[in-house]
Every structure is written in C-alpha cells, then in structure tokens.
Chains A and B, each alone.
Chain A
Amino acid sequence: MPPMDRLLLKNRAAIPFDDLPKISYQALGDIAVGCLCAALRPVALFGVPEERHAESVRIVALFADDAQGTLAVTSVSAQRGATVPSLTPSIPAFHLFERQLWEEFGIVPEGHPWLKPVRYPHDGHPPRRIEEGYRYFAMKGEESHEVAVGPVHAGVIEPGHFRFLCDGERVNHLEIQLGYQHRGVERLFREGPLAAKSTLAESVSGDAAVAHATAYAGLVEALGDTVIPRRASVIRAIGLELERAGIHLGDLSALCNDIGYLPGTQLFAVMRTDIINTSLVLCGSRFGRGLLTPGGVNYDIDEKKKERIIATVRRIRDNAGLLAASIFDNQSVLARFEKTGSVDTATARAVGLVGPAGRASGLTCDIRLTHPTDAYADHPFMKTILQNGEGKAAVSGDVYARAFVRHQEIQDSLRYILELLERLDAARDGIIAPVAPPRPDMIAFSLTEGWRGETLHAAVTGGDGGTRRYYIKDASFHNWFGLALAVRDNGVSDFPLCNKSFNLSYCGFDL
C-alpha cells in the first residue's frame, strides 16, 4: 500500500491541487530522511500562497525516486512568518530551499546554519537591496586574507560576487553571492496566458534555451492534457541534444583556454560553431530559440535539412572523439585537470548536485534515463559509457571527470541525434497539435535534462484559469554550492578552471 503522506506521480503529470497530501513540517523531515540513503532525491521545496487566505502558504515538496522513475509530492500548510524546524542540518540539499522560503514568505527555518538571502527578490519578505546587511563568512588567522571578485567581472560575463577566504594561495572556502540578475521571471510567467510564454521560458537562461523551453512546454501540455505529435517530440529531442553537444564543445574549448592549451581551445571552438550552426539550420537560431512552442515545434525537418544535419553531426562526432582522445592523453593537460576541484560522491549527494557535474562525481542522476518523456520514452536514450584510461567511466569528481563526462555526452548526444533522425520518417503526424488551456486548480511538474542538468518548471493554476504560482529550478540552483565546495583546498588560481568545468548560470539561478 502506498504511503499516505505523499502522492506518487510521473514526470509531466498534473494533479488537482487539493489532492496534495497535507502533512506537518516534521513529517516532511521523515520523508526527507529517504534522501540520506539515496532512495529519494530532493527536487524542489517551494511556497504557494493560498488563494483565500493571504497569510497562509502551502509549502510543496517534490522528491524524485530515480530507481522507480517516480516523483513523490507532498505539502505543508504554514503561516507567513512562522517558525519551522530546519531540515538543512540533517539534509544539506535543503539549505537553499529553506533560505528561499524565508526570503519569499518569512518562514523561518529554526537551526538553519547559513540563513542568508538567496537572491533578494523585490517582492520578497522584506524587500531589500542585494548588498544590504549580507552577512559574509569571515575567517581569522595570521596568513588568511580575502579576495573579492565581482559582481562586475573582467570579461563580458554575468554579474556575481565571489569571496575567497584564502590562506596564502590556498582557498579555505569560497562564498558565492548571487541575485544581481534577478528579473522576476516567475512573476512574469504569472502575468497573462501561460501558453504564450515560450520566449520568456527561452530567456530564463539564454544558454539553455531549449532545455527551459522543453520544460515549460511540457508543463503547459501537462496542465492542458495535450498530447504532442511524435514527430514534434523527436524534433524537440534533436534540438535539446544539439544544444547539449554545442555547449559541451564550447566548454571543452574554454577549459583548454583556461589552461592555455591552444590546440584544444581552437579546434573545439570550431566544432562548437559547426554544431550551433546546425541549430541555425534547424530553426533559424544558433541557440535553438523559437524552436519549441506548447503543442509541438515551429520548424519541421525536411530531407534537405536532414541530410545537412546528418553530415555535420557525423563529422563532428568523429572529429570531437579524436581531439578528445588526444587531449585526455596529454600530460600537460592532465596535470591541470586531474585532482583539481574534486567533489566526492557523498558530498555531491549531500548538496544535491545534478547534471554532468553530479555524474562526474559518481551520481546516476539523468532525467533522460530515470524520468523519460516524449522521444526519450519512445526511443530510450542509451549511454555508451566510453572507457577512460583505467577502463572505467570518469567519476573522480574533479575537473578531469567533468571534462571527460562532457566528452562522453557529446558522443552520446550526437549518436542519439542520428538515431532520432532515422525515426523521423516513421513519424509523420505533423509538428504541432492544438493546445488545450490549462485546467483550473491543478499543479504540475515538468522535469527536463538540460545540458547543465535537471531543469524543473512547476505551476499551480488558479480557479479562474490564471497562474497562481510558477516555479523554476535551474540546474545551477544546487550546483553553485557544489562549485564552492569543489574549490576548497585548491589554489586560488585554479578557480577559473573549476568554474568553467561547472559553467553555471547566473540568471538561471537569480531568475
């Protein structure tokens, strides 16, 4: 008999909001204990303001059971400004969620070790400026010093503040303080019809446009109970995998650039251009913008496009494989990649790492495998675990592992694209289906494996068909803290390399 304290559902399912079990915050802690033995993984914990009582907040908790391929959802009723016993001391992966609850609704997690703002939303509780009263970590000692970087950086990159607590050249801890890019994305999703937010979804994090658009479109379809054509689902998956391969190639180039290794920098950059130009062929945007829409896709793949994509993908698959083989065999490169920025499996699980960073630390998280939908369910995505020098997949959790995992994923993605293109001829059911409007008083969750990792979009609809709550969790949400742990005990000069191996999103975090 299934436990009464939670509701089990599949990825991209919608249920009536009133069906959510109501439990106490302590009982939530009892479920969360499952996270300790790796049976469950915390995916989200967010507040939904109650429609009829302005002071009441329903806290929705979502866990993933990766072995069973199910999601477990439950909820807690709380008042704004209430005090609840913090889950963070026992399960650190909750630390950001609880900080967010405190920031947005004033719900105080008692015993939280790092109760600080997440991003200071302007509609927060209480609304404040980012820098105001932020309590940074401090370290005292004879040789200790702090290096502050940002929020304005030397390159054309996003703003974020980094504080290195150093002992000479050694980093003891890195404090990452974000929020400078907060645009109120979740609020924008609530304004106007939900089905018209594709462009907004693509700009949650511009380098993961297809990932967020996929998660968003899946959510709208779940809320309206729309089934998309098989052909559209195949094209979506091709777009998503092209995005993954393109970004991974660009990041391998950037990793080589950070260590001054010229051949890798140049050649991977050339391949990245070829791949993102393939997205251009597919939908007119190198970043896959405009490809997806709720109900299907906007662009079909005809025979001419198909041949061009096949030719490029085959060529890049072979060339990237050769180049990666030579780079992961180069002593001067390995000397920089290996044992730099290590995150062990236990730490990775404790802080809830997702995506390639989690897989490089030995976690098995991958939504494409554990919670597949659409094309991934029709045509299972298989991983060919390439062998590295020692005959194992790279799970050492260091920069080498993160780079090697990305190399593997490039190969897997490109191979999968070729497989999908073969299935395209059999799927001739159009590229777009009419979208039903979201059903009232529902809650839905949509998980997608973007290139950066698990991307969650969730929504609660109101009685009038409007959107009561829209919640987004980018893969960066958990992984920024992983980066902070990765640089501990490393040289401060190795930070850029660690940072690039994660390549996290500022705006995806800040929302």
Chain B
Amino acid sequence: MARTLNILLLLFLPFLMLGIINRVKALAGGRKGFPLLQPFFDTLKLLRKGAVVSTVTSWVFAVAPALALAATFTALLIAPGVGRTQVIAFDGDIVLCLYLLGLAKFFQLISALDTGSAFEGMGASREALFSVIVEPSLFIFAGTLALVSGHMSFGELFSLSGGSAWPTVAASAGAIMLFLILLTEGCRIPIDDPNTHLELTMIHEVMILDNSGPDLAFLQYAAALKMYLFATLIAALILPADIPAIHAAFALPVVALLCAVLAGLVESLLARFRISHVPQFLFLTVALSLITLAAAIYFRGGVA
C-alpha cells in the first residue's frame, strides 16, 4: 500500500513543488502566478511534441535524457518514502541511490559536452564543480547515520536514537544541509536561476538548451524528481518514526510542500550568488555533515 502511494506521489509531487515555488514567488511579487500543476501540464505537452536533434551530436545526446530520468526515478524508488518505506530496499542501498544520481548527472554532463556548444560546456563545468562539493557531504552524512543507527538500508538509517541531544543535532544540522542541497540540485536561487534567459549565467538550464520535446520533458521531470528526493530525505529525518501509517501518508507531502514554500521564500527575498562564490556556500554543506559526524562521535563516546 505504502509502496504504491510512494510511486503515485512520484508522479505528481515533484511538479506540485515547482508549482508551489512559482506561486510563492508570484504572490511575493504581487502577481497571480500560473496554475499549481502547470509544470505537469507543460511536461505532458512536451511529451506530445517532436524533438529537434543537432546533427553534430552522437548517441550520447540521444540516450542521456531517458537514462537520466530512469536513473533518477530508480534512485527515488530506493529513497525512503511514506513512513520511510522503500520500494526497493537492501543493505547498502543508499550507495546505489547516490550513485544512480551520479550516473544521471554524468550522462547529462557528457550530453551537454556532446553538443559542442561553448555555453553548454561552461554549464557542465559549473555543474560538475558543484557536484564534487555536494557529494562528499551526502556520503559523510549517510555514513554518520549508519554509524549511529547500525543499519545499512536507507529507510532504517533515519531511526535516530542514541544520546539525548543527538537526534536534535542530527535532525537540525542534517535538515539544513539537505535543504541547501535541495536548492543546489534543484537549480534554485541563490545557486542557479531557473527563470533566467541569459545563457552565460545559467547552470542547469544551459545544459539542456539543445534538448527539445520528450527529451526536454524527461530532463525537466528528472530535475524535479531530484529536488523531491531531498525533500523526502528531510521528511524522513524530521518526522517521528512511530506515527500511524495514515498520518505518515499525509506527513510526507506536507513536508515536501513546506520545503517548496521555503524555497519560494528564499527566491523571493535573496539575490543570486556570484557564481565564483557558490563553492564557498556549498562548503557549508560539508561543514554541516561534519557537525553531525562530530556530534555522533561525541554522544557515542567514540567511533567504535
């Protein structure tokens, strides 16, 4: 039951998050904004369209969108969903989950390079640099949770027990870190600006400039899924484990949508960072993951 719900949520919640972010920005700017599910309808529209493919591209460009979507979707099946249930679960599945995201990103990067465009090359270089910084913080954090919980499966990692203050430290530092990563991987302000038309300043958007039709739909859906993934991790981290299943079914969407509202508020109030300052900002996620690790060691009285 919970697994079916997980998959159903995957189909709508990512789009709804985008819709909410837009609505919050619109309201903050004194506008009405488009319908909440417009990103969903846009994706359906793109799926019905044909695609234009540049003649200089190779098979990489052709397979990358489908591959990126498949890998991201599978990663979401492993990630803890409603009531921390996973559709696919086994010991060490978190490593597969994070590397599926890596695989999706790898193919998007080489697909961008495949077009031979100077813009897309710059975008790929920026995206690669930022991922290099974000990935270690995720692994340090996952390792810390595994160390404390003694579990190796993604859903069970989040049973925060241990020293009295440990769950609070882990949940707060971890949630902030995950939210920052959500903004980064979701290509939101202050890291990226999804609404800009200026190729020279883009990161994610510039990498998909040459994609059109279903390919573009796949990539946009994959990007939305990735943002949703970090929202589910935040939910798994901050929601108590022992709530009834029916509450859990509502709690996850509520947390995801709150994340979207928060992201919308950040976008309404902050200007975007200068690109050269983004790495400094991203090192904050590494610092936060190290804080959880240090706290874990402190409250356990050692590493063993």
Interface residues of A (CB under 8 A from B): 145-149, 154-155, 169, 256, 258-263, 265-267, 270, 330, 332-333, 335-336, 340, 491-496
The reply on B247 being an interface residue by CB < 8 A is no
CB–CB A262/B274 < 8 A: no
Residue in B122, B126, B195 whose Cβ sees the most chain A Cβ within 10 Å: B122
Q: What residues of A have a CB within 8 angstroms of the CB of B193 in the complex?
A: 260
Residue in A155, A260, A267, A491 whose Cβ sees the most chain B Cβ within 10 Å: A260
CB–CB A263/B28 < 8 A: yes
- In chain A, what residue has the closest Cβ to B29? A266
Q: How far is the CA of A335 from the CA of B274 in the complex (A)?
A: 8
Q: How far is the CA of A149 from the CA of B117 in the complex (A)?
A: 11
CB–CB B200/A147 < 8 A: yes
Q: What residues of A have a CB within 8 angstroms of the CB of B273 in the complex?
A: 332, 335-336
Q: How far is the CA of A504 from the CA of B211 in the complex (A)?
A: 32
Q: What residues of A have a CB within 8 angstroms of the CB of B199 in the complex?
A: 149, 154
Q: What residues of A have a CB within 8 angstroms of the CB of B276 in the complex?
A: 169, 491
CB–CB B122/A332 < 8 A: no
| Pairs across A and B, CB under 8 Å, 24 listed | A146-B118, A148-B118, A149-B200, A154-B198, A155-B197, A169-B122, A169-B126, A256-B271, A259-B271, A260-B189, A260-B195, A260-B196, A260-B272, A262-B25, A263-B269, A267-B30, A332-B271, A336-B274, A340-B274, A493-B274, A495-B200, A496-B198, A496-B200, A496-B201
Q: How far is the CA of A267 from the CA of B29 in the complex (A)?
A: 8
CB–CB A493/B271 < 8 A: no
CB–CB B272/A259 < 8 A: yes
| Interface of A (DSSP majority class) | helix
Residue in A332, A333, A493 whose Cβ sees the most chain B Cβ within 10 Å: A493
The reply on B243 being an interface residue by CB < 8 A is no
B 157-195 to A, binary, CB cutoff 8 A, 1 in contact else 0: 000000000000000000000000000000001100101
Q: What residues of B have a CB within 8 angstroms of the CB of A267 in the complex?
A: 30
CB–CB A265/B200 < 8 A: no
B 270-298 to A, binary, CB cutoff 8 A, 1 in contact else 0: 11111111000000000000000000000
Q: What residues of B have a CB within 8 angstroms of the CB of A258 in the complex?
A: 196, 198, 201
B 254-276 to A, binary, CB cutoff 8 A, 1 in contact else 0: 00000000000001111111111
Interface residues of B (CB under 8 A from A): 25, 28-31, 118-119, 121-122, 126, 189-190, 193, 195-201, 267-277
Least Cβ distance of B158 to chain A in Å? 33
- In chain B, what residue has the closest Cβ to A335? B274
Q: What residues of B have a CB within 8 angstroms of the CB of A262 in the complex?
A: 25, 28-29, 267-269
Least Cβ distance of A154 to chain B in Å? 5
Given known contacts A154-B197, A496-B200, A332 and B190 CB-to-CB distance under 8 angstroms: yes
Q: How far is the CA of A169 from the CA of B199 in the complex (A)?
A: 14
Please list the 6 inter-chain residue pairs (A to B) with the smallest Cβ-Cβ separation, ordered nearest first. A260-B272, A261-B271, A266-B29, A332-B271, A496-B198, A259-B271
Q: How far is the CA of A148 from the CA of B117 in the complex (A)?
A: 9
Residue in B25, B200, B271 whose Cβ sees the most chain A Cβ within 10 Å: B271
CB–CB A147/B197 < 8 A: no
Residue in B25, B121, B198 whose Cβ sees the most chain A Cβ within 10 Å: B198
Q: What residues of A have a CB within 8 angstroms of the CB of B28 in the complex?
A: 262-263
Instruction: Knowing that A260-B267, A336-B271 touch, tell me 17 more A-B residue pairs with CB under 8 angstroms.
Output: A145-B118, A145-B121, A147-B119, A148-B118, A149-B199, A260-B196, A260-B271, A261-B270, A262-B25, A262-B267, A262-B268, A262-B269, A266-B31, A335-B277, A336-B272, A491-B274, A491-B276
Least Cβ distance of A24 to chain B in Å? 46
Q: Which of B29, B118, B190, B274 contacts A494 (CB 8 A)?
A: B274
Q: How far is the CA of A181 from the CA of B277 in the complex (A)?
A: 37
Q: What residues of B have a CB within 8 angstroms of the CB of A495 in the complex?
A: 200
